[in-house]
Structure 1
């Protein structure tokens, strides 16, 4: 559906792996400062959509425009430089590097000349205490904070979060939810989140986009997922 001030515009997008089409004719608009959750059962193409937006999977047809720029044929590095940050499912931190070394890589997002560590520590103070620790020795929740912090060390305009609650203890999930809202309220950062955790979806999302069989099949408000029948229908919970 059309939205005011669209920062990310996806039009008739199709992508997949080889000859297997996974994302099927998706059109989606996201406003600056909006938090949109992509929901649906496992295997419907949510992660493939995220990887196509960031440029890890090429679009077969359709277009992706970010801040008015057609990025459809740009590689993932150039999209990151334009301000698209991506935290993949499983976090993907560099386990053999320290926290400080991981954060230093945040300059790849946006046009930052050096990592903005003060900003990161304002959201994740634990990382300041762990700068010399190897990322691989951290808990799953701490690694998730590091993965998000690494993106925030740059200058993102939008963050793509793929299942940030996976393997994370409940108290840190709550912290991540509060931080996502702060990012929007304090910095007007845009967030596109793929998630199955109902509490996190309801806590952060402005609206939910429903995917099934690679296509967007509907849209609903987060509080509608309080209905167990709706949750079962959309998430197979």
Structure 2
């Protein structure tokens, strides 16, 4: 299976503090690849580096045949990568419809893209005139994903999408990620909850101290809970 995204020997810094050390990672076409690790391991930094929000000093990030390293952040979504950051970061005073319009405008997508994301999240169709800041946490997460998906990305980056959500909303997020995989979207999913990872992941990479220590098929993770204890500290 071909790789949608290939990261090789990536070094990233905040100021003079190094966060990622020669990190290597591959995301296959149509795969859900989960990143697990303790807080501060470098998971969010990796997503930001892919988006050009944290500059890399050395290494390569390739989307298919396109080199993303060095692109300004506004060019990365146009290349085909969408990012839903931790905390959603919606425009709270704007309506659901206006937040979605921002996603459409960012890559000059048509109304067909708008209808496609509303088909994925029917409840948002009922909330189009509602201010996004008044939505529930789960609805806000759906809106953040919908806005990103308006870009019609090849690769979707999700940072802690189930954080603080009730079980029914977590199930909906998992269902959506599975639907996107069926449509050929490749996803990198950062999670702390192992139970949220197991039903949807194809592979899992454990990140520790800014390095990928181990990458396994999800079936191995189900069979070997010691892996989780070793890298995350919980079972």
- 2:200 alignment counterpart: 204
Tell me the TM-score normalised to structure 1 length.
Answer: 0.93
Instruction: Say if 1:81 and 1:111, in contact at 8 Å, map to a contact too.
Output: no
Alpha-carbon offset, residue 229 of structure 1:
3.4
- 1:63 alignment counterpart: 60
Instruction: Say if 2:32 and 2:201, in contact at 8 Å, map to a contact too.
Output: yes
**Secondary structure, aligned partner of 1:76:** coil
- 1:214 alignment counterpart: 210
Indicate whether 1:44 and 2:49 are aligned: no
Instruction: Say if 2:104 and 2:114, in contact at 8 Å, map to a contact too.
Output: no
- 1:103 alignment counterpart: 100
Deviations 1:100-136 (A, max 9, x none): 0001111256552457221112111010000011111
Segments of structure 1 that go 5 or more residues without pairing to the other structure are none
Deviations 1:22-58 (A, max 9, x none): 0110111212111100111111000000000011111
Distance 1:79 1:114 in 2: 22
**Secondary structure, aligned partner of 1:116:** helix
- Residues 59-208 of structure 1 correspond to what in structure 2 (within 5 A)? 59-107=56-104, 110=107, 112-114=109-111, 116-185=113-182, 187-208=183-204
Distance 2:112 2:145 in 1: 13
Segments of structure 2 that go 5 or more residues without pairing to the other structure are none
Structure 1's consecutive aligned runs of 4 or more residues displaced over 4 angstroms after TM superposition are: 108-111
Distance 1:10 1:218 in 2: 15
Indicate whether 1:235 and 2:235 are aligned: no
Alpha-carbon offset, residue 198 of structure 1:
1.4
Alpha-carbon offset, residue 74 of structure 1:
0.3
Alpha-carbon offset, residue 75 of structure 1:
1.2
Q: CA RMSD in A?
A: 1.5
Distance 2:112 2:211 in 1: 37
Deviations 1:1-31 (A, max 9, x none): xxx3111111100112000010110111212
- 2:2 alignment counterpart: 5
